[in-house]
């Protein structure tokens, strides 16, 4: 998922998508342990997507906090 796609999402959509991706990551890790995962690069991309989404959420939290301080 690209960063511009993530930035277009609303906060509640992001939280929902993070939960889905974390569940997907657990499934991928399980498949990897069972040696049934053929494309192990999916683990890395899932982790990065989760990190990107959490980063965007955190940026928005900081922006909201900054606005409320003024």
The CATH number of the domain holding residue 33 is 1.10.287.310
Query: What is the DSSP secondary-structure string of 6-70?
Result: HHHS-HHHHHHHHHHHHHHHHHHHHHHHTT--S-THHHHHHHHHHHHHHHHHHHHHHHHHHHHH-
Tell me, what's the pLDDT at 70? 72
Instruction: Count the domains in the chain.
Output: 1
- Give residue 1's pLDDT: 86
pTM for the model: 0.91
Q: What is the pLDDT of residue 54?
A: 97
Average pLDDT over residues 40-48: 96
What is the tens place of the pLDDT at every residue in 11-42?
999 999 999 999 999 999 999 999 999 999 99
Is the pLDDT confidence value at 58 over 90? Answer: yes
Supply the range of the domain harboring residue 58.
3-69
């Amino acid at each position: 998922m690209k960063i511009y796609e993530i930035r277009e999402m609303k906060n509640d959509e992001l939280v929902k998508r993070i939960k889905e991706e974390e569940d997907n990551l657990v499934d991928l890790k399980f498949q990897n342990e069972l040696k049934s995962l053929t494309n192990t690069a999916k683990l890395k991309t899932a982790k990065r997507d989760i990190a990107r989404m959490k980063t965007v959420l955190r940026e928005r939290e900081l922006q909201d906090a900054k606005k409320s301080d003024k």
